[in-house]
Amino acid sequence: MSSQKPSSAEKTFFGHPLQLSTLFHIELWERFSFYGMQGILLIYLYYAANQGGLGMDKALAGGIVGAYGGSVYLSTILGAWLADRIWGAERTLFIAGIVVMSAIFYWRLCRA
């Protein structure tokens, strides 16, 4: 392991390579949207229609939220395959960020 510090000419992001800032910000907003959506989704599915929800059974609503959470973690396998074999790491992160951002804007514009 090298103990060399970056030269003063190299720009850093809190002591890390500058390229890590892109990954950090993508992960920050992805986690923000995931945990926010997971909490809101259960409330939306469970509450009755006259309260702004869909009025589903508690067990079914919990199962859907669990499937959503599992699919988010399983989708990393597809993302890793696309990054390694087809698009490369930077393009995959950019496209994933666009997909997440588009989904958030779409959910914001939809009305129940």
Domain that holds residue 23: 16-110
Q: What is the pLDDT of residues 50-93, one digit of tens each?
A: 887 889 999 999 999 999 999 988 998 999 999 999 999 989 98
The reply to whether 91 falls in a domain is: yes
The reply to whether 8 falls in a domain is: no
The reply to whether 36 falls in a domain is: yes
Least confident of 6-10, 31-35, 96-100: 6-10
Neighbours of 69 (CB within 10 A): 15
The reply to whether 87 falls in a domain is: yes
Q: Which pLDDT does position 6 carry in this prediction?
A: 56
Q: Per the structure, how many domains does the chain have? A: 1
pTM of the model: 0.62
The reply to whether 66 falls in a domain is: yes
Q: What is the pLDDT of residues 3-17, one digit of tens each?
A: 666 555 677 878 888
The reply to whether 9 falls in a domain is: no
Q: What counts of helices (H) and strands (E) characterise the chain?
A: 3, 2
Place of tokens 């499937």: 67
What Cα–Cα distance (Å) separates residue 106 from each residue in 47, 90, 98, 100, 110?
22, 24, 12, 10, 6
The reply to whether 76 falls in a domain is: yes
The reply to whether 64 falls in a domain is: yes
Enumerate residues 6+ apart whose C-beta is below 8 A from 69. 38
